[in-house]
Amino acid sequence: MTSRTGQPVDQCLYLWADAWQRAWTGDPATETVIVDGIEAAVDAQSAAGDDYPLTIAYSALCLLDAVLRGDPAEFETALIEGLEFHRRFWDTPQRCLDPEGFIAWPLLAVSCLAVDRGLRPGVVTGYLPVGLLHRVA
């Protein structure tokens, strides 16, 4: 599958969405799409000078890969790394007041899947609200 525009950033985000859909349905090709998405994130950062693919999308893809492998240590490492990338991306003068960065939405989505699969995040952070992560009303 290729993105409609062929732009590196679009390709990366398209592959992130494709990997997520495949993971959700149990498609065995998910791992290949994750690897393609990670490579696209690196390419997008190089080509466009855009930090989003290499920080946000890359870390979400790595976390999804760890969840699908089911390894608690790998999951925890990828989550901590992803949260650090998230903080660095959003903790800049031009982005720090943008409410989109208050919650690590891609990491939260993957972490919810992890919880559903029996993996428990060992880190507590406002970027992953406990009520949403554990579906507490």
pLDDT digits (tens, 9 = 90+) for 17-34: 999 999 999 999 999 999
| Confidence label for 55 from pLDDT (cuts 50, 70 and 90) | confident
**Cα–Cα dist 101/14, whole Å:** 20
What range defines the domain where residue 91 resides? 8-133
Please tell me the predicted confidence (pLDDT) of residue 49.
61
Q: Please, where are the H alpha helices in 1-137? A: 8-25, 30-48, 51-52, 58-69, 72-90, 105-116, 130-133
pLDDT at 4 over 60: no
Please tell me the predicted confidence (pLDDT) of residue 124.
94
Mean pLDDT over each residue of the chain, to the nearest integer = 89
Residues 103-111, mean pLDDT to the nearest whole number: 96
Is 2 a member of any domain?
no
pLDDT at 1 over 60: no
Domains: count for the chain: 1
**Cα–Cα dist 42/36, whole Å:** 10
Is 106 a member of any domain?
yes
Is 97 a member of any domain?
yes
pLDDT at 119 over 90: yes
Is 94 a member of any domain?
yes
**Cα–Cα dist 94/92, whole Å:** 6
Q: Which residue shows structure tokens 């982005």?
A: 95
Q: Which residue has the higher pLDDT, 100 or 3?
A: 100
Is 1 a member of any domain?
no
